[in-house]
């Protein structure tokens, strides 16, 4: 059984921190970015040092912090060595894949908008030849001020990428727009920014979540699927540049959105398997890829009651009918999209997954143990295609989704050229 390998992204970013109470979130953001495999060089303004210390950020990043344009004892060249030629802003900006300013204060945004460069961080931003990503953080009235909004529009016109802000409670005690996004969301969005647009121009149609089959007005047949895997696949497809239609059973999840790509998934919410089939039939005509992630209930009640069935002394028996096979329907179309199924089994995983792939006549199936996957935030997948079995090692579901889609891209390309994949696919995270 081949294991799909993940290359370390080896991305390098400068994390700029400006003055504001949200500077504390930069510590967690640094930790998360490093956990993703990103090299983080921190640069701080003088004001930022009043909220969080360079010592803290050096300990978290593993590198001396850039703080001063003039006293360059902490300057680092593009090999990470001490540099005393007074050009830290040039060396550092040339050795990075992106500059992320989080938090970005109203004052710093104003300086960016007007091209001012009177400290190390603003000079780094002006001297850069890489993307600039900004996460605003300020009081709601500062955010709503006409001057700030003019500055924001100027940054957008200049090609600067904005993440946030969010609305919520603020340190000043007020409520409203201006709160910096949480570190976990920023880390996900930054990682999404670096994903290759392998699915640009492609329509991905997928199903997610459970279905609910009514018995009466309050009872029904369903399962414990949370929808997390399907929504992660939708998110990853957006990151790779696809147009995404997500048909979802009942979940507590929000529609996937990728701000750095500038688009979100078209979410169609359904309840029963029949509803899901109908939605798929309406959307499948122009789909290039169909991924059936939903845990569709296998059976439904033959008769349902519009009223609650009262508890009685006698036994209640239900006649069950099989639900439609949605994946089978799509795969049997005269011109089907590239079809991918999911197999959630409790035992004999490989055996049952192979049988399902052959029965459905689809090129790829993703197999997992239901007891380890349902409701969890992480998982392990075994991808089964004509070349054999490929293991995606345990990881969070978004990482797995990215690896799955890259496998799909490679397999689809291989089959379109009537080739075979004799070796495990090497997935670049």
Catalytic residues: 172
Query: Token match 């919410």: residue?
Result: 269
Bridge pairing between strands 5-7 and 426-428: parallel
Residues whose CB falls within 8 Å of the CB of residue 347, separated by 6 or more in sequence, listed in order: none
Residues whose CB falls within 8 Å of the CB of residue 330, separated by 6 or more in sequence, listed in order: 280, 284, 290, 292, 336, 337, 339
SS (H, E, C) 303-357: CCCCCCCCCCCCCCCCCEEECCCHHHHHHCCCCCCEEEEEEEECCCHHHHHHHHH
CA-based diameter of the chain, in Å?
A: 90
DSSP for 253-284 reads PPPPEETTTTEE-EEEE--SHHHHHHHHHHHG
CA-wise closest residue to 247 among 288, 203, 277: 277
Q: Which two tokens stand for residue 23?
A: 């500077």
Dihedral of CA 2/420/331/233: which sign? positive
**Cβ 235 vs Cβ 213: under 8 Å:** no
Rounded to an integer, what is the distance from CA 410 to the centroid of its chain? 20
Between CA 382 and CA 345 the distance in angstroms is 12
Burial class from Cβ neighbours inside 10 Å (0-12, 13-18, 19+) for residue 121 reads: buried
Query: Residue 251 region, left (φ>0) first, then alpha (ψ -120 to 50), else beta?
Result: beta
């Amino acid at each position: 059984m081949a294991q799909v390998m993940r290359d370390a992204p080896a991305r390098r970013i400068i994390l700029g921190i400006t003055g504001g109470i949200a500077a504390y979130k930069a510590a967690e953001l640094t930790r998360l970015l490093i956990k993703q495999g990103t090299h983080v060089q921190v640069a701080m303004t003088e004001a930022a040092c009043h909220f969080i210390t360079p010592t803290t950020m050096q300990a978290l990043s593993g590198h001396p912090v850039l703080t001063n344009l003039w006293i360059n004892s902490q300057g680092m060249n593009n090999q990470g060595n001490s540099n005393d030629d007074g050009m830290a802003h040039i060396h550092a900006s040339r050795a990075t894949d992106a500059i992320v300013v989080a938090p970005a204060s109203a004052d710093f945004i104003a300086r960016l908008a007007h091209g001012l460069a009177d400290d190390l961080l603003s000079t780094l931003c002006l001297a850069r030849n890489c993307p600039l990503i900004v996460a605003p953080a300020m009081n709601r009235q500062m955010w709503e001020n006409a001057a700030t909004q003019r500055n924001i529009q100027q940054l957008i016109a200049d090609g600067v990428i904005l993440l946030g802000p969010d609305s919520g409670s603020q340190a000043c005690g007020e409520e409203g727009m201006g709160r910096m996004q949480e570190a976990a969301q920023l880390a996900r969005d930054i990682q999404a920014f670096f994903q290759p647009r392998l699915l640009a121009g492609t329509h991905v149609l997928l199903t997610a979540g459970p279905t609910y089959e009514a018995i009466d007005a309050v009872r029904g047949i369903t399962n414990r699927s949370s929808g997390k895997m399907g929504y992660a696949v939708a998110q990853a497809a957006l990151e790779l540049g696809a147009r995404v239609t997500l048909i979802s059973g009942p979940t507590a999840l929000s529609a996937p959105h990728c701000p750095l790509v500038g688009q979100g998934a078209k979410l169609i919410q359904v309840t029963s398997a029949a509803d899901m089939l109908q939605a798929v039939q309406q959307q499948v005509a122009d789909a290039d890829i169909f991924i059936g992630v939903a845990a569709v209930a296998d059976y439904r009640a033959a008769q349902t009651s519009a009223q609650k069935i009262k508890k009685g002394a006698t036994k209640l028996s239900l006649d069950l009918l099989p639900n439609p096979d949605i994946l089978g329907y799509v795969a049997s179309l005269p011109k089907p999209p590239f079809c991918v199924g999911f197999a959630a089994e409790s035992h004999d995983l490989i055996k049952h997954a192979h049988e399902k792939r052959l029965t459905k006549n689809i090129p790829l199936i993703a197999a997992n143990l239901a007891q380890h996957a349902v409701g969890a935030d992480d998982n392990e997948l075994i991808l089964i295609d004509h070349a054999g079995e490929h293991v995606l090692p345990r990881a969070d579901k978004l990482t797995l989704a990215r690896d799955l889609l890259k496998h799909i891209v490679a397999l689809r390309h291989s089959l379109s050229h009537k080739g075979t994949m004799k070796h495990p696919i090497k997935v670049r995270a």
